[in-house]
Chains A and B, each alone.
Chain A
Amino acid sequence: EDQVTQSPEALRLQEGESSSLNCSYTVSGLRGLFWYRQDPGKGPEFLFTLYSAGEEKEKERLKATLTKKESFLHITAPKPEDSATYLCAVQAGFNKFYFGSGTKLNVKP
């Protein structure tokens, strides 16, 4: 069964405490893996696309990596404004996306 699993469900960090979020997938025919940030009451905001194992993308304090079975979103020295829910999605076919249920990140000052 095609599915995307994110862990942990929730993560509390102190400001400056680096960590990683995980997105594992069992999807045949991966076409792309996408990371999104979602603030409360808003739509998901696109962060990164990864297409092949070994690929990495960076943006400010965030770095996304991809292997054949999972992706990690590394957060280096997070700040309170990084608090949000981070969603992972996988494209497996024509207009076919599978979403994880997200990791809710809370960064305390």
Chain B
Amino acid sequence: DVKVTQSSRYLVKRTGEKVFLECVQDMDHENMFWYRQDPGLGLRLIYFSYDVKMKEKGDIPEGYSVSREKKERFSLILESASTNQTSMYLCASSLYSTGTLYNSPLHFGNGTRLTVT
């Protein structure tokens, strides 16, 4: 079974702090994703990475950056946390076949609920 592990279940940070959210997957997937989930807005993609050191912006990248130094690890960074970044953050991983052009299902971690005060 694919396992995606997010380092913290709950975090409380102050406005202006730099925040690191860490995610590790154990299935050698090339693709990793960061989403945030808010009531009424569903899941929104922040960034994804398709290889080590490679990244692409998603739908809502403003205020965030990412780092992928190793294949199994994908970090989300909030450079200066703000209250509107209070949310549930979900990391996911997936395989992509260049032959069939299909992704395997996204496998999610259990989320980090971040509160910025």
* B108:A95 contact, CB within 8 angstroms: no
Q: Residues on A close to B: CB < 8 A?
A: 31-32, 34, 36, 41-46, 49, 51, 87, 89, 91, 94-95, 97, 99-102
Beyond A41-B111, A95-B94, whether A46 also contacts B106 by CB under 8 A is yes
Q: Which of A49, A51, A91 has the most CB of B within 10 A?
A: A91
* B103:A95 contact, CB within 8 angstroms: yes
* A34:B106 contact, CB within 8 angstroms: yes
Interface size class of B (residues with CB under 8 A): 20 to 34
Beyond A41-B113, A42-B111, A102-B42, whether A97 also contacts B106 by CB under 8 A is yes
Q: Choose one: A31, A36, A41, A44; the contact of B101 (CB below 8 Å).
A: A31
Residue in chain A with minimal CB distance to B109: A43
Beyond A31-B103, A32-B102, whether A101 also contacts B108 by CB under 8 A is no
Please name all residues of chain A whose beta carbon is closer than 8 Å to the beta carbon of B4 when the two chains form the complex.
Answer: 43
Q: In the complex, A31→B95 CA distance in Å?
A: 13
Q: In the complex, A31→B101 CA distance in Å?
A: 8
Q: How far is the CB of B25 from chain A (nearest CB, A)?
A: 12
Q: In the complex, A43→B89 CA distance in Å?
A: 9
